[in-house]
Amino acid sequence: MKSLLAALALTTALSFPAAAMARPVTLSAQLKDYGGNNAYLALYVTDKNNKYAGSLWLAGSRTRYFQHLAGWYNATGGDTSQINGITGASVGSGRTLEVTLDLKDALFDQGYKLHIDAAAENLRESPNDVVVPLTSAGAGTPVKGRRYISSFTYSM
């Protein structure tokens, strides 16, 4: 029970305005037209020491595929309590995932990085398809993904 409460507190600290100031941030990942099944995407944050700080969003609902989101899965041990209430549908080839979340101001310009792991059935996994520092100056700047993601941006 304590680990569940700790996980909930961490997720709340990352994504929702609690005692700290927060702002709406739109995360947008345009997928390449790779021609395969819908992709699962895990969006999560690491701190300046590359330690897992929390999950922001998981696109895809079948838990049996979560292990293919290798970076996120290794960081969380596949703990689905990390994603309670922050999931949506998997994303089709050539489509865009767009999510707006309230993120704490303290995540920006402090060494935090946003990671996106991607995987599609019968295709290769792509841990860290996108890794981008969370900075105020980086808002609106497109970042190219490695395998499935054509372009990623965040805007504040």
- Pull the structure tokens for residue 76: 């969380």
Is the per-residue pLDDT at 8 higher than 80? no
> Within a 13 Å sphere around the CA of 89, how many CA atoms are in the beta-carbon half?
9
**Which helix (H) or strand (E) covers residue 128, if one does?**
strand 126-133
pLDDT at position 4 = 36
pLDDT at position 85 = 85
Residue 49, burial from CB neighbour count under 10 angstroms (0-12, 13-18, 19+): exposed
**Which helix (H) or strand (E) covers residue 44, if one does?**
strand 39-46
Q: What's the pLDDT tens digit per position in 91-147?
A: 999 999 999 999 999 999 999 999 999 999 999 999 999 999 999 999 999 999 999
Is the per-residue pLDDT at 1 higher than 90? no
**Which helix (H) or strand (E) covers residue 73, if one does?**
helix 70-76
Residues in CB range of 80: below 8 A, 6 or more apart: 63, 66
Instruction: Give the domain ranges of the chain.
Output: 2-155
Is the per-residue pLDDT at 7 higher than 50? no
First to last CA, the chain: 35
- Pull the structure tokens for residue 114: 């946003």
Q: What's the pLDDT tens digit per position in 53-99?
A: 999 999 999 999 999 999 999 999 989 898 988 999 999 999 999 99
- Pull the structure tokens for residue 11: 């997720």
> Within a 13 Å sphere around the CA of 104, how many CA atoms are in the beta-carbon half?
18
pLDDT category at 6 given cuts 50, 70, 90 is: very low
Is the per-residue pLDDT at 9 higher than 70? no
Domain 2-155: which CATH class? mainly beta
pLDDT at position 29 = 98
Say how many C-beta atoms besides its own lie within 10 A of residue 2's C-beta. 6
pLDDT at position 87 = 93
